[in-house]
Copies of this chain bind each other. A is one copy, B any other.
Amino acid sequence: MKLLLIEDEPMLLDEMEAYLIEQGYRCEKATTFAAGEDKIVLYDYDVIILDISLPGGNGLQLLQLLKKQQKEAGVLIVSAKDSLPDKLTGLNLGADDYMTKPFHLEELNARVNALVRRKSFKGNSQIQVDDLTIDPVAKTVSCNETFIPLTKKEFELLLYFIVNKNRVVSKQSIAEHLWGDHYDIVDNFDTVYVHTMNLRKKIVAHTGIDYIKTVYGMGYKFTSA
């Protein structure tokens, strides 16, 4: 599950991120209107947590933009004051929930969970890629009824590959997504290599297909029809 946090107070943003990562979510951050705009246009998220007052513009405009782009992310609006007009405008523009600052991180988590759950009602929670069935909630991967046992890191890696299906992902970005933003670039990518290869072998052993192609000098690409 990938979240986007748009919030201009750096302290609060970091706290939110830390807590949500603990809960098993993957998070990206934006602190300005412009940065939020970029991320919304370029990428897809499951849930977007959106502060209304932002440097450079109003969060509600971002919400409009999102809806115009037909993006399916659930939106949780956060605002400093419990202003009824704002609230109504937000919900009318298609936000899914509304929250007033200050709030407890537990409440944030509960609301994000609720959004994720609600989203997964429509459309099955399982991801189907050719022969493979991935269930992010059950944390299982299966191929024709038989389960492929994966370790935690392997599962996260597979999910990242599938989210970026048919796109080349660099080892750097894999490292950042699996080990966090602060992964040292100077570090070697040995563990990325090893995990990727282990995952690859398990999938080949079960499906007979090597979905993960290496793109020499660039990274890897998970391919499917």
Contact = CB atoms under 8 A, between A and B. Distances in A.
Interface in A132-164: 137-140, 151-152, 155
Given A18-B121, A121-B18, A168-B138, A152 B217 contact: yes
Interface stretch (A28-36, A110-118, A202-210): A110-118
Given A139-B218, A152-B218, A24 B121 contact: no
A150 to B, nearest CB: 10
Nearest to A152: B217
A46 interface: no
A111 B181 CA distance: 13
A167 B140 CA distance: 8
Contacts of A15: 114, 117-118
B22 A185 contact: yes
How many copies of this chain does one complex carry? 2
Contacts of A22: 121, 185
Nearest to A138: B167
Interface in A1-46: 11-12, 14-15, 18-19, 22-24
A215 B22 CA distance: 18
A95 B29 CA distance: 22
Nearest to A135: B167
Contacts of A105: 117
A137 B218 contact: no
Interface string A194-224: 0000000000000000000001111001000
B216 A151 contact: yes
A181 B110 contact: yes
A116 to B, nearest CB: 11
Given A151-B216, A152-B216, 12 more contacts: A11-B111, A15-B118, A18-B121, A23-B172, A24-B170, A105-B117, A106-B182, A110-B181, A138-B166, A138-B221, A140-B168, A152-B218
15 contacts: A11-B114, A12-B114, A18-B118, A22-B185, A23-B172, A102-B110, A105-B117, A106-B181, A106-B182, A138-B166, A138-B221, A139-B167, A139-B168, A151-B217, A152-B216
Q: Shortest 3 CB-CB distances between A and B: which pairs?
A: A152-B217, A138-B167, A139-B168
